[in-house]
Each structure stands twice: as C-alpha cells, then as structure tokens.
A and B are shown apart, each in its own frame.
Chain A
C-alpha cells in the first residue's frame, strides 16, 4: 500500500554540525510534502513544505530537497542547535485538501 518511510530512525549530531534527515515515499501521485517537528508531549510543528513542481526550497536554517525520480525527500538543518532535538516527520499529500500520510519519524539528538 501507500507509505512514507524514513531511512534512519535515530540521528545524533554534534551542535553546530549540519543534519540531514531522509524520507522515502511511494505514491507518485503525491503533490505536496511537508516536514514536521514534534517535541516530546507536543503536537507536530510545521517546518517547511514543498510542492511537487519544485526540487528545492529553503527556509531559515532549513532546506527541503525533493527528488521525484527516486521518490526521496530530505530535510537539511544547518548549524544544528540543542533546541532542534525532536522527532521529525515527513508527510505526503496525494491531492488538494486531502489527508496526510506520515512517515515513521526520525529522532534527532543534538549533543552539546
């Protein structure tokens, strides 16, 4: 069935380093992708999104890359800080206003 998965369930980085979190998706009809950050005991927080007609989008310290050829999505965090420690989820949406399918999540741990 349709699924969104992640290559790495946990990621540990040194403060100041760049982080890369990966995600694979299987539904070629998905037209919109989002990265969420979830801290313990809280709801997901929107980080950045990208439409399927783009391959890169930058935000503040974050960049999302989309490779539709291999159905791969990544989130890059520059100069990772302790406050970035959280679980990161990618999500895909197959149609306008449609439901989101979430990946399994990657736990990012930032060492001071």
Chain B
C-alpha cells in the first residue's frame, strides 16, 4: 500500500513552454501533498505544500506564478512549470501524507525528470 505515482516520468520541452506534472496517491487519500525539486548530487528542496481544496503554501524563494500547484482532489495534485527555462531543468518529486498512519508518514513518488532545451 501507500503508493504514489507521477506522470510523466520524464519530459523534454522547449524553452518558453509550460509543463504539467501529475502526482497521484493510488491507494490512499492525501489531504496534503508536497512538491520538491532535486538537482544532481543534491538533497531534496521543498518547493511547496499542497492542500486539497485550498491554495498551496510556497517556500521562500519559490515563485508561485511560475510553479502553479493545484490540488483538486484527495488523490491528485499537479505542478505546472510555466514558461520553462533551462535553469528549471531538474528532478521534481512529490510526496503525499498517508493520513491513516499515526505519524502522517510521507510517501514519495518516483520523480519526474524535466529537461528544458
């Protein structure tokens, strides 16, 4: 149980275009999901906290108008990278809190590799 999926697994796009990444909790409901980005050989950096039915909370330094987050249901959150540029190339990972566990464990998706040309 507690499986989180992401789609697509990798995407290549041209500079200036927008890319949408989906994060789904497959066998549990997640009122809260998190979005991270990770550069090679680096740790995960939290971008934003996504709460179902409300606006996302962004970390300091993360542009909310560039990284649009929508959490429309208890099993789906989307991250849209708008007007992508080469510096947005990164590994984007989502996680979902399994509310059924006592400690609200975060389970991570497999990540999405974004390459902006």
A-B contact pairs, 7 of them (CB 8 A): A34-B105, A41-B111, A44-B44, A46-B105, A99-B34, A100-B106, A102-B45
B49 adjacent to chain A (CB < 8 Å): yes
B contacts, CB < 8 Å to A: 4, 6, 32, 34, 42-46, 49, 93, 95, 97, 103-111, 113
Check A105–B43 contact: CB distance below 8 A.
yes
Check A43–B93 contact: CB distance below 8 A.
yes
Chain A, range 56-75, C-beta contacts under 8 Å to B: none
A contacts, CB < 8 Å to B: 32, 34, 36, 41-46, 49, 51, 89, 96-97, 99-105
Number of A-B residue pairs having CB atoms within 8 Å of each other in the complex: 49
Give chain A residues whose Cβ lies under 8 Å from the Cβ of B103: 32, 49, 51
Check A49–B105 contact: CB distance below 8 A.
yes
Main secondary structure of the interface of B (DSSP, over half): strand
Give chain A residues whose Cβ lies under 8 Å from the Cβ of B107: 46
Check B113–A99 contact: CB distance below 8 A.
no
A49-B103, A97-B97 given as contacts; is B108 within 8 A of A43 (CB)? yes
Residue in contact with B108 in the complex, picked from A44, A101, A104, CB distance below 8 Å: A44
